Structure 1
């Protein structure tokens, strides 16, 4: 396990985490901000400045999952883009999107499946991007 951590290209991990974070920022504001607010049962307020935790928190969580993906990509010896896309799909749907939908299914989310569709599709796409970046900049 320790050998894998020392073999990982940390520049690729940081680039992948930053890319995922930027995509998330755009996804939940510019691309789907209105729909995301609707899924949460809130009024859409695009000019509202988010608290720092809503910027730093997702980046830290994304960085942790990017490191986990990098460890698995190296452990599984994934070296082609096609295999990276398969890996990203499995992680994106099997863990990230399904967990997002599961988390949304509670009384505090007024439209859980709609929320799951918006958030889950971001996590799926992000997982694909992370896997490809880590594979290409190995």
Structure 2
């Protein structure tokens, strides 16, 4: 499987990372900031200038996910739009959304269902967009 790494489009990985990171900013800072703060019981208490880890951390944690997705798409020969959608939903729902809800169900998240829906929704949209970018810019 590791020999398949050479078939990954690194431009696709980079553009997916930019997309997913931008989506995170858009999702949590522009579209749903109050819903996110409410899910954490921090409505009106979110920092105006968050620590740098909240800015560079998500792209650093998304990078291995995107590389893994790119590698799986190569290994599984995901090369049609229908296959991209099916793959993104399997990975999105089966891993990302499920893991988001697993993280949400702990005493530190006061509203786990709200958090799971909001963050899980972001993960599902993010992986769907990333899979389409990786598909569009794949090595042939």
Q: TM-score range by the shorter chain?
A: over 0.9
1:108 aligns with: 108
- Alignment gaps of 5+ in structure 2: none
Q: RMSD over aligned Cα, in angstroms?
A: 1.2
Question: In structure 1, what is the Cα distance between the partners aligned to 2:47 and 2:72?
Answer: 39
Instruction: Give the deviation of 1:7 after TM superposition.
Output: 1.1
CA contact under 8 A between 2:40 and 2:115: conserved in structure 1? yes
Q: Secondary structure at the match of 1:60?
A: helix
* 1:93-126 deviation digits (Å, cap 9, x = unpaired): 1100110011110111110000000000000010
SS in 2 for 1:59: helix
Q: Which residues in structure 2 correspond to 1:10-21 (within 5 Å)?
A: 10-21=10-21
1:1-138 equivalences under 5 Å are: 1-44=1-44, 48-138=48-138
Q: TM-score, normalised by structure 2?
A: 0.94
CA apart distance, 1:43: 2.3
CA–CA separation in structure 2 for the residues paired with 1:21 and 1:3: 28
Q: Using the TM superposition, name which of 41-50 and 67-76 deviates more.
A: 41-50
Change in 2 beyond 3 A, CA 1:46/1:88 = same
* Superposition deviation, residue 3 in structure 1: 2.0
Cα distance, 1:51 vs structure 2:
1.2
Shift of 1:52: 1.1
Deviation at 1:45, TM superposition (A): 5.3
Q: Which runs of 4+ in 1 moved over 3 A?
A: 44-47
Count of aligned pairs between the two proteins? 138
Alpha-carbon distance in structure 1 between the residues aligned to 2:64 and 2:44: 29
In structure 1, distance between residues paired with 2:41 and 2:116: 14
